[in-house]
A = this chain, B = another copy of it.
Amino acid sequence: MVLSDRQRLDWLRLIRSESVGPRTFRSLMNRFGGAAAALDALPELARQAGRSVRLCPLVDAEREFESLRRLGGSLIALGEASYPLPLQAIDSAPPLIAVLGRADALLRPSVALVGSRNASAAGQKFTARLARDLGEAGFVIVSGLARGIDTAAHEASVASGSVAVLAGGLDEVYPPQNLPLLRRMLEEGAAISEMPLGWKPRGRDFPRRNRLVSGLSLGTVVVEAARKSGSLITARFANEQGRQVFAVPGSPLDPRAEGGNHLIREGATLCAEAAHVIEALEPLLRGGHDFRQLPLVMSEGVREDASQTLWDELDLPGVPAAPSAPLPEPQLGMEPPALVDGADGEAVRALVMRLLGAAPVSVDELVRASGRSAREINHTVFELELDGVILRHPGGALTRIAP
């Protein structure tokens, strides 16, 4: 199957329409047999449910399509030969992924390496060794381009093949400091995103993104992770997706080892060297696990009753197209902001965590109470969101999750 340009635009319009996430997209396709028909039917369907829906205008979809083309990227549709099979097998597989770099890297067998942004030197060293050894064994390394473990994993697999899954649009690289690394990765690897160009990643986009990191990969290795962290979310996704989870052990005296040790106690395979991953995944490479055989209702054209799942609460929220102001000459990345790192960063983190509790607090209140600059607080809050230790509520108020 290959979509025509017109079909691809319809698909893009549908997935960028209000309230249409990957699962709803699939239901609509199954019910109406195609994106154009679904777009036609959606307003009436919404009206019947007592709701309204904002469809993505054709012009917005065309603009995204064209901007991506000028950036050197392309859109791959679920079911096309260039869509990675392991990703196709997950039940929230994005209908379209935007790809920069070598799309064929997505078709090679891959392993996700994820871990702490505040990684230890030893953790980064081990990650680099593991990524290099897995790369030599023929695996593409998938990660999230974050600082720390992700960066070490990508750096060590630039030459053998490295894929970054971004939480924002392909032109919204986070952290921006890793833009040069990403550029080097595109020679043998790729960057992908399900988000529209121009989409700045929010805290909640990162866990959503993590399902793609694990979903692209035959297995996921967690290298250093605190007990509550995005890496453990990725591991949970991997497990739910039926993929093998590996965790690197560490001393019980090292808080960075808590997540990995916990995963091992929960049944993850202990990984102390690349061979432990290779020997576990080799049977999959020899055809022991055919992702094609996993159910993919949509590709079979079955029309199911989509009404139950149309606005299924389990679906990921739809992501509208970027604001309709025409994008200027699209370019990869943005200006690196000055980050609050190192010892002072730790102090601000600790301060913000102390100031937050179960009662919602606004960022403005945090700035006042902390005596720190709004930029410092905004950055720190963002990082804490990424860590999954604080929660941003509608309206922007913050509460603390971790004890």
Bound-complex Cα distance A110 to B258 (A): 27
The reply to whether A251 and B252 form a contact with Cβ atoms under 8 Å apart is: no
Bound-complex Cα distance A257 to B254 (A): 14
How many monomers of this protein are in the complex?
2
Instruction: Kindly state whether residue A248 has any CB partner on chain B within 8 Å.
Output: yes
Instruction: Kindly state whether residue A84 has any CB partner on chain B within 8 Å.
Output: no
Instruction: Kindly state whether residue A40 has any CB partner on chain B within 8 Å.
Output: no
The reply to whether A270 and B249 form a contact with Cβ atoms under 8 Å apart is: yes
The reply to whether B250 and A125 form a contact with Cβ atoms under 8 Å apart is: no
Bound-complex Cα distance A400 to B251 (A): 31
Given contacts A261-B272, A270-B261, contact A251 B250 (CB under 8 A): yes
Instruction: Kindly state whether residue A122 has any CB partner on chain B within 8 Å.
Output: yes
User: B residues within 8 A CB of A252?
Assistant: 126, 248-249, 271-273
Instruction: Kindly state whether residue A204 has any CB partner on chain B within 8 Å.
Output: no
The interface bits of chain A over 345-367 (1 if a CB of B lies within 8 angstroms of the residue's CB, else 0) are 00000000000000000000000
**Chain B nearest Cβ from A371, distance in angstroms:** 37
Question: Of B251, B269, B271, which contacts A122 at CB under 8 A?
Answer: B251
Bound-complex Cα distance A278 to B76 (A): 52
**Chain B nearest Cβ from A119, distance in angstroms:** 12
Instruction: Kindly state whether residue A276 has any CB partner on chain B within 8 Å.
Output: yes
Bound-complex Cα distance A260 to B257 (A): 15
The reply to whether A276 and B265 form a contact with Cβ atoms under 8 Å apart is: yes
Closest to A223 in B: B252
User: B residues within 8 A CB of A258?
Assistant: 272
Bound-complex Cα distance A253 to B59 (A): 55
Bound-complex Cα distance A152 to B209 (A): 46
The reply to whether A251 and B253 form a contact with Cβ atoms under 8 Å apart is: no
Instruction: Kindly state whether residue A264 has any CB partner on chain B within 8 Å.
Output: yes
Closest to A262 in B: B272
User: B residues within 8 A CB of A276?
Assistant: 265
Bound-complex Cα distance A248 to B249 (A): 9
Interfacial residues of chain A within 256-299, with CB under 8 A of chain B in the complex:
257-258, 260-262, 264-265, 269-273, 276
Bound-complex Cα distance A270 to B248 (A): 12
9 smallest beta-carbon distances between A and B, as pairs: A249-B249, A252-B272, A261-B272, A265-B270, A264-B270, A250-B251, A122-B253, A249-B261, A126-B253
Residue positions of A touching B, CB distance < 8 A: 122, 125-126, 248-254, 257-258, 260-262, 264-265, 269-273, 276
What are 15 pairs between A and B in contact, CB < 8 Å?
A: A125-B253, A126-B252, A126-B253, A249-B249, A249-B250, A249-B257, A249-B260, A249-B270, A252-B271, A252-B273, A257-B272, A262-B272, A264-B270, A265-B272, A270-B270
Given A126-B251, A249-B249, A252-B273; 18 other pairs, CB 8 A cutoff: A122-B251, A126-B252, A248-B251, A248-B252, A249-B250, A249-B257, A249-B261, A249-B270, A250-B251, A251-B257, A252-B272, A258-B272, A261-B272, A264-B264, A264-B270, A265-B269, A265-B276, A270-B270
